[in-house]
Structure formats: structure tokens, C-alpha cells
Structure 1
């Protein structure tokens, strides 16, 4: 193991957590239908379900809450948030939303027409759902390495430029309103996109009058990887890299619950005034006034503060390197994980971990349940359950069948990562004892959130 940066903060408040017994956890996961999303928080020891809205806020952010201006329109905090987005990301227009999927809904309704195609560097669950609900078809244009668990590529989130150009030739540029580029790519393992690739995607898009819209949820993590791994950026600040990244987009959706370091909130940002006017009309219907978008004034103030904090190098270095620490511990013990290790989570390769289970036996879902029973650590499935079904009702079978160990920002210590690693390693050494699962309840959309399962005997 190498050296990892110490926490760039000191602890000012604590929240007590308790370890339950294995028998308690067996009963809890059974009651939850073997779905970690349905567990009660009180039954969880270390919660790695998601990094969305689970970050610890700084003292300055907590202070920000106390100056919330809860006016229905024209809140002072809204202007602070607008200023932060313009300064840090560089977009001219901002529409606040209650969280990222609110922004996805606005973008999809405004830009997608029935029969359109939306290329992207691998699907994300809620993004794809909004695109399809508005009549679009998602088309995966990520490089092939993005679907390979151990491909040696520093930027596995890159758009395959030839796939993108082939799609334009096949369906016509007029049927592609925008390309959705995720920075980083969650489902590929938190993999980044290079600056060179972003620049070339923009060039192709401009030639064909196609807009470039980012899923910018973890864009600061992407900027960190560019600084570490792309030639010519080692001496640039995170803020400088981030601003250049955004210059190659026409807008973005943002879940403030990730890189903006808050527990709720998001926004849709863009450079085009006409698009902004359409968004403000819809945000009133779904979210609230264009100056609060479903958020309290205090939450907008905390998000503005978090945006500025997020580009601090010491913060983002510790954040990403803590993820690397957990991933390296598992890798050194022989546990199959997605490599390179990404910026927000360690993804266990459930196919390789549980080769005795077919994808129809839901190995990632089974492994997530087993990790919880073993140690009280809550993780989540990212495989066939998350991928959903096609129009004929058959499962989508993604090449990557993973369990995501997602690290909240500024919440856990390296000692907590040791507990997680020990549990996963123990299960790997006894992996043949893990049984598959089958559905007993399945909703039609975004089934991974609320489906229920039972063991296959």
C-alpha cells in the first residue's frame, strides 16, 4: 500500500453508529426483500449505498444555513448560487432544481422529440429513463474499454468518436438534439473523460449543429483525473481545468448532492437564452419559481458555498485517494474490481466474484445483500437489475455486473475503509456459499430502487 493523504479537516461534530448482530442483519435484509435500498438507516453500520446527498457539510456550509432568505421569489441566496455557477462552471444561465433528476426532466422535455436519438458515454439509470419517457432512444457511444472491467486505460469514459460519427451518418444530425457526456461515467466505475476527448466531441458536434450537454455530477473528480493523468495539466489548478472542461459544453445537468457537497439540490445550466426561457417555463410546473426551483434559500446558500469548496485541491485529492485506498486494499487481496479505480466508488466485478451464478441469478444483487449481512456495510447493485428490461420484456444484460461501494465525501475515515475491505475479502474467500436471487416484485421503471427478491434454493 502506498501513502495516502490525511483528512484535510478536523472533526467538529460526530454521529454515533452501532454495529448490529449478524442475526439482526439476516432478518433486516429478509424484511427488505434482499434490496439494500429498502433497509432502514438504523440497521446500517457503514453506509456506502450512494454518495448522493450523503456528504458531510463544512462549518462554513452550516453557517450558510443560518442566512437563508426564504422569500418565495428573488431570494438573496439564489443570486449567490447563480454567481457561483457562473464563476466556477462558466455558464450564462442557471435554473435551480430540487436535485439532478429534476434537471434531467427539464432538459429531456425541452430538447427531445419523439424518434430522437441521444448518444452518450454509457447509460445512467435516471438519465436514460427521462430520455425514453420523452420519446428518445439512448445510444451508447463509449469506447469499448469502458465495458471492460480491467482494461488499462486512464480515460475509460471517453466517447468513441467513430461510433458517434457513425450514428450521425446513420440517423441524421437532425434526429440528434444533443449528446450527453457524463464526467465521470458512473456505470463504468467512475471513469473520467480526457480533455482532448471533450474537445473533439465538441468539434464534431458543432460541425453537425448538435449540442453538447454534460452530466456534470462528478465533474470535479473528472478534473482531478485530468490533472493527474493528462499531459499538459499537471500545473493547472482544479478550477482552471474545470472551467476549460465546461467550455466544451453548451450546458449541463448537475446533482448538487455530489460534487457540490450538499444534501439536496441541483441545477440545469446552459449558454443559450432561448433554452433558458423554455426551462424557466417548465421549472414553474415541476419544481418551483426560477429563483428557487424546489429548494429552500438556505440550501441554495449551502450549495453555493460547496461549489467553491469543491475546487480546493486538498479536498478533492483526499476524496479521490480515499476511494483509491479501499480499491487498492481489495485489489491486493485478489478481489476482482473494476480498474482503474474511479473517483467516487469501488466497483466489485460480481461476475468474477461469483462465477457460479449466472446473470439471471442476479449476482450483484446477491453480493450486495451478502456484504450487508456479513458486516452491516450497505452497498448497491449495478448490473442486470439496474439495466432493466427491453421493449419485449427481456432483461438487458450489461457487460459489467457490479456492486458499487460508494464513498460519501468527508464522512468516513481510513479505518472505516479497513472494515469494508475486511468484510469483502472474507466473503471472497467464502464466495461459493453465496446463493443467487430471483424477483418477487418488480416495478416497470427504475426497478432497482424498489424491487424485492428472495434466495434461489
Structure 2
């Protein structure tokens, strides 16, 4: 369906962002003209997904919707065991409760906010092993989500096996700009994991977009289908977590896929505690049916090409305007390099968040900061962490906006870019939560 969008005035937006304490999460949706905060749960479901919702079985245990989802996961992803959860971070909570303990080390490629949060909440440590090219937005590397296998092996060599419960691989890698991981790299991670006897877990929210990039960028895969590539990708994983609100194109839902019956039984205890019975896990039967259908549609090449081409369209418009962005363009969003956009602002004034606020003021467009606010504080020193990349993410919902909307976004940001030198003061924190602060942080102008 379509919905009405109201164009607000600059004066209204100035008042609204002040009242939200310069935190775009705290804006009301009706105060936003074009919403690029996230692609999580914001996509438009298809007629077949809506039809499946009408067939949902709401039995508490053993619903037919559960078995439909189970069969789809086995067919498309290759996992024999699975647990439904209400979304991706719930899947992390359940799986990490079964695997992670205090003092553990979890290496991976630029762990996203909830992943790192669940690790650090359990007094464990996330170690970033992403390749160096990911942190230079001007370098055109086709797989900036790759792990540096030498860094990874250094971590595995320097810690006892019992201290490294698993390696986490995020496909695509959100924090580095929606960047894909190559099949060659996934194979290399698997070989190292086997050498040291370590599990591999995929954070799989955008696995289909990752498969698209393997097909279009990696030698030897042009002739393979998305489904064939997906099955090979997951053959290198022991387990996976999934936020189905992305590549399964539903508004709510997630799951854990596993190969081990022992791990399934261990995780089931936490699923029952935190989510619900193991055949619904916080999801309705309607949602499970829509999710199963969404997995099928989300692994269709024509759909993926249309979706990713729209992201690239926005990226190219911004490049044409001279706006610095992470290149090559990622799968679900365009990431604007706030350090290059606002070099005059010190990092302590949160460049990406300042840029996000300026874009909202300019055109009512809501993006999201992927930078120092999201990086949170060091759990031990409580000092701010300043990541190598300070990014404004413009995340495109699936099957929602037209390229006319992308033109509007590009023009609004280009207007900010033209007056960038006049932005001489950023933001400061006035209140924050102890972990994953960016969702609820209060800010003020410096």
C-alpha cells in the first residue's frame, strides 16, 4: 500500500530535533519525510507474503507454520536444526547465552552494535579482524567485508581454544559499509577454524545481498544461481543468526540455524526462557509463513538486482555531487564518510551524528550514525571509542521508495555539502545508557 508523506518546514524540524535531544531515533515517524534510518522491518511485503499470513497456524506447539519455515531453512540455507526468535538480536541473545562466557574472545569482521553488545554484556571481548582496505572509503576493493586471515590466525594462536567459542562472520558487513565477504574468504575462515578447532557463526541478516555480490564480483560464480551460492556460503558455517527483517523482507522475525543437535538442545533451554516454545520462539504463525515466503523471494536474482541497483543509484548521484561515500557501494545502504565531509569538526563532537542532524534539518531525511556514538565506551576504561570510520548510513527499505525519492535525498545532502564549511560546531552527550547508548542517547549542541 502507499502512505501519505507530509513535507514539514525547516522551523518545524528545528523544534522537533531539539525536543528529541538531537537523537533521530526519538523523532516521531510523522516528523520524517523520507526515512532511511534502517532497512530492518521497513520493507514492503509481497502479495504472496500477505497470502501466506492468512494461512498462519497459531497453534502454541507444533504449528504447520513452524514446519513450513523449517523446511524452507533446510532447503535454502542447509541447516537441519533451527530455533525461531522474534528478531536478530534475540537470536544472538539465545545463541550467545549458550556459547559465550566471561573472558572469552570472539574475533570477527566489524561486529555490529547488537553483536558487540551481547558479547560485552557477558564480559567477553570482540576482536575486529576486518581487512585494512575496509577503513579507507576511497579504495575500490570488491570485498571490503573480508576478514584479514593473518589477523584472525594471530588471535586464534594467541588464545587457548576454550577461550574462543566461535568466529563470527557478518555477511554483508554492515559496520564497514554494507560490504560483502567473498567466497574465497569464507573458505579461508573455515580452514582456519578447522585448523584450530573453532566454530564459525554467520551473522546472516543480509546473506542474499552478499550472495549477489559474489555472483557479480567474484570469479567463477557468474554462472551460478543465488541459491547455489547461498548453499555454498553456509556450508562453511556451523551456526547462524538471522534478523529476518532484512533479507527475508518481513516486519518482525528471526531465527538461529545450527548443524549440531547438542547445540540445538542447549540453545533450546534459553529459547524457552527468553522467547517462547521452540516451535514459535516469539513469532506468530502468520509471521513464520511470511518469513518462509520472504526467504524464497529474497534469494531471487531479479529482485536482488533491482534492490541493489537502487542503492547504487543513490550512491552514484551523491558521487556526482562530490559527496564522499564508501566505495564500492554496499548492498543495503550508502555510507557517507563524515570525516571527509566535516573534517573541521573534532571527533569528540560526533561528526556522523552532526551530519545526520544537518541532513534532517535540510530535508526531513532521517539517516543513522555508524560512528563513535554506536562504538560506545570501552567497558573497562569507560572512555569513548573512536572507530576508524565515522559514517552516516542512508539505508534503503526494500520495495518502498522510488528513484525520485533517491533524487530528493541526494539533492538534500548535496545542499548540506555546499554549506559544509559553515558547520563549525557539533554535538555533545548529555545523557546515555551504559551499553548500546546510541538508541537512547541525549545530545545537545556544543
**Bucket of the pairwise TM-score, normalised by the shorter protein:** over 0.9
Tell me which of 293, 296, 306 is aligned to 1:318. 306
TM-superposed deviation, 1:432: 2.0
TM-superposed deviation, 1:363: 1.0
Q: Distance in 2 between matches of 1:177 and 1:279?
A: 14
TM-superposed deviation, 1:112: 1.2
Tell me which of 188, 208, 211 is aligned to 2:199. 211
Q: Distance in 1 between matches of 2:316 and 2:258?
A: 38
- Which segment is superposed worse, 141-150 or 101-110? 141-150
TM-superposed deviation, 1:175: 1.4
Q: Give runs of aligned pairs for residues 41-56 of structure 1, distance below 5 A.
A: 41-56=29-44
Determine the structure 1 residue equivalent to 2:226.
238
Q: Do residues 421 (structure 1) and 382 (structure 2) align?
A: no
Structure 2 gaps of 5+ residues are: none
The normalised TM-score by structure 2 is: 0.98
Q: Do residues 455 (structure 1) and 445 (structure 2) align?
A: yes
Tell me which of 403, 418, 436 is aligned to 1:446. 436
TM-superposed deviation, 1:269: 0.5
Determine the structure 1 residue equivalent to 2:127.
139
Determine the structure 2 residue equivalent to 1:359.
347
Determine the structure 2 residue equivalent to 1:406.
395
- Which segment is superposed worse, 71-80 or 418-427? 71-80
Q: Do residues 86 (structure 1) and 86 (structure 2) align?
A: no
Q: Distance in 2 between matches of 1:152 and 1:288?
A: 45
Determine the structure 2 residue equivalent to 1:77.
65
Q: Distance in 2 between matches of 1:209 and 1:110?
A: 18
Q: Distance in 2 between matches of 1:353 and 1:212?
A: 37
State the SS of the aligned residue for 1:314: helix
Q: Do residues 396 (structure 1) and 402 (structure 2) align?
A: no
Q: Distance in 1 between matches of 2:19 and 2:189?
A: 47
Q: Distance in 1 between matches of 2:422 and 2:50?
A: 46
Q: Do residues 293 (structure 1) and 281 (structure 2) align?
A: yes
Q: Distance in 2 between matches of 1:398 and 1:294?
A: 34
Q: Give runs of aligned pairs for residues 53-132 of structure 1, distance below 5 A.
A: 53-132=41-120
Structure 1 gaps of 5+ residues are: 1-12
Determine the structure 2 residue equivalent to 1:170.
158
Q: Distance in 2 between matches of 1:74 and 1:174?
A: 36
Q: Give runs of aligned pairs for residues 175-254 of structure 1, distance below 5 A.
A: 175-254=163-242
Cα RMSD after superposing both structures: 0.8
Tell me which of 155, 163, 166 is aligned to 2:143. 155
Q: Distance in 2 between matches of 1:24 and 1:161?
A: 50
Tell me which of 365, 369, 374 is aligned to 1:377. 365
Q: Distance in 1 between matches of 2:201 and 2:280?
A: 22
Determine the structure 2 residue equivalent to 1:3.
none
Tell me which of 267, 275, 299 is aligned to 2:255. 267
Q: Distance in 2 between matches of 1:14 and 1:109?
A: 41
State the SS of the aligned residue for 2:273: helix
The normalised TM-score by structure 1 is: 0.96
Q: Distance in 2 between matches of 1:113 and 1:454?
A: 37
TM-superposed deviation, 1:252: 0.4
Q: Distance in 2 between matches of 1:191 and 1:146?
A: 8
Partner deviation per Cα, 1:299-358 (whole Å, 9 max, x = no partner): 000000100111111100011110000001101211011111100000010011011101
Q: Distance in 2 between matches of 1:171 and 1:151?
A: 32
Partner deviation per Cα, 1:380-420 (whole Å, 9 max, x = no partner): 11110000111211110101001000000000000000000
Determine the structure 1 residue equivalent to 2:9.
21
Q: Distance in 1 between matches of 2:431 and 2:121?
A: 22
TM-superposed deviation, 1:433: 2.6
State the SS of the aligned residue for 1:397: coil
Q: Distance in 2 between matches of 1:140 and 1:364?
A: 21
Q: Distance in 2 between matches of 1:55 and 1:327?
A: 20
TM-superposed deviation, 1:182: 0.4
